[in-house]
Amino acid sequence: MIKTTLVISNKLGLHARASAKLTKLAGSFKSEVFLTRNARRVNAKSIMGVMMLAAGLGSEVEMEVEGPDEAPATEALVALVNDKFGEGQ
């Protein structure tokens, strides 16, 4: 299992479009992916779960990835968040 702390750095946080990109990317891997914020743990492959985190700009979210492709999954998801979900702000 790989645990990583992500800092949401895009202006709008984990809004619908960013959540959709994250869940689509997480769903493309065989590994299980979970996000935790304020003691709420959700499946990152569930868009409703991700949006329920209500993670705004500057929020810290813990990500756990476990499975056969956990390393590339972690790398891809971290890159997506660090790229501000491709939104540029």
Catalytic, 47? Answer no
Active-site residue (options: 15, 49, 59, 78): 15
- If one counts every other C-beta atom within 10 angstroms of the C-beta of residue 61, the result is 20
Q: How many helices (H) and strands (E) does the chain have?
A: 3, 4
- If one counts every other C-beta atom within 10 angstroms of the C-beta of residue 77, the result is 21
Do residues 18 and 87 make contact, with C-beta atoms less than 8 angstroms apart?
yes
CA angle 15, 18, 21 (to 5 degrees): 145
Which residues have a catalytic role annotated?
A: 15
